[in-house]
Amino acid sequence: MDGVGPRAALDRGIEAALQRDRWVVAASLGLIVGLAWLYLWRDAQAMSHMDMPGMSMEGMSHGTDAMALGLTFAMWAVMMTGMMLPSAAPAILLYGALVRKHGERGSVLPAAWIFTGGYLLVWTGFSVAATLMQAMVDASGLLTPTMASSSAYFSSALLIAAGVYQLLPLKEACLRKCRTPFEFFATRWRAGRSGALRMGLEHGAYCVGCCWVLMLLLFVAGVMNLLWVALLAGLILAEKVLPRPEWTTRIASAALIVSGIVLLVRS
């Protein structure tokens, strides 16, 4: 009986520490996401004022000089953070729990933040590519001043491409990794901070593989159309957390393809 008490107390202590770590990580993620959406809201408000009658957009190109590219990149990077961290939260919280279960009790919070940093680093790389694509599309005259598509053909192509991608094996394989973080960690576990970074990079790569085409749909209704941004973020979250993900994916695919075809016919 003497050994039972200390053992039970140790288990309770570990569980209490785990709960504390989980709340700290969850609160930190919530704060980061909230700040990201606040930044996007302020950007959207500024853009809406610039688009008012009498407000000239001349000299305010969003894709030609270094400062404009930097601001565009910042917008994409913050947007990816606000859109993707909520759907990555289950994996991040699970990772923190597994770190403690593996006995790395002194490094739970740093490791969780390093894992999150690796995850966001991949989406930052995507943001670089999206920034360059926006600059090229803008230079081709396919974007309005509010960064929405000015071409029905371009919008149709994006909608149909996203719908088709939803049905490809690559999408399914990447989505499976994103939906089952426990399986991901079980097969790719690496200890230490370098392991946290590497797993964060790998998990982020799977999520980019799952969602990158959906992100291009931001050009359809406007990169700073926050309702459109929220709808896409909701779709991505639904694919990752709702039961029967194949139905969510197929319904979204059908809706995107039909929308693209209807838009193409009307044009």
pLDDT of 53 over the 50 cut: no
Query: In whole angstroms, how large is the CA radius of gyration of the chain?
Result: 21
The pair of structure tokens assigned to 106 is 């002194």
What is the number of structural domains in the chain? 1
Cα separation, 198 vs 200, whole angstroms: 5
- CA 193 to the chain's CA centroid: 23
DSSP 143: B
Residue 227 placed within a domain:
yes
Alpha-carbon separation of residue 101 from 14, 18, 28 (angstroms): 9, 9, 21
What percent of the chain clears pLDDT 70, i.e. is strictly above it? 84
Give the other-Cβ count within 10 Å of 224's Cβ.
21
Is 37 a member of any domain? Answer: yes
What value does the mean pLDDT take over residues 107-116? Answer: 86
Q: Which range among 54-58, 110-114, 209-213 shows the weakest confidence by mean pLDDT?
A: 54-58
Pick the range with the lowest mean pLDDT from 31-45, 96-110, 134-148.
Answer: 96-110
The answer to the question of residue 112 being in a domain is yes
The Cα 135–Cα 144 span in angstroms is: 12
Average pLDDT, whole number, for the chain? 85
- C-alpha neighbours within 13 Å on the C-beta side of residue 249: 23
For the entire predicted model, the pTM comes to: 0.84
**49 lies in some domain:** no
Measuring CA to CA, how many Å separate 238 from each of 42, 85, 92, 137, 232? 27, 13, 17, 30, 10
Asked if residue 249 lies in contact with residue 171, where contact means CB atoms within 8 angstroms, the answer is yes
Domain that holds residue 101: 4-44+60-266
Average pLDDT over residues 138-162: 91
Q: Determine the Cα–Cα distance for residues 47 and 62; give it in Å rounded to an integer.
A: 11
| Confidence class for position 64, pLDDT limits 50, 70, 90 | low
Residue 128 lies in a domain: yes
Mean pLDDT, residues 146-169: 94
What DSSP designation does 105 have? G
25 contacts 94 by C-beta, under 8 angstroms: no
Residue 58 pLDDT greater than 60, yes or no:
no
Q: Is residue 51 part of a domain?
A: no
Q: Give the integer Cα–Cα distance in Å for 228 and 154.
A: 17
Cα 145 to chain center, whole Å? 25
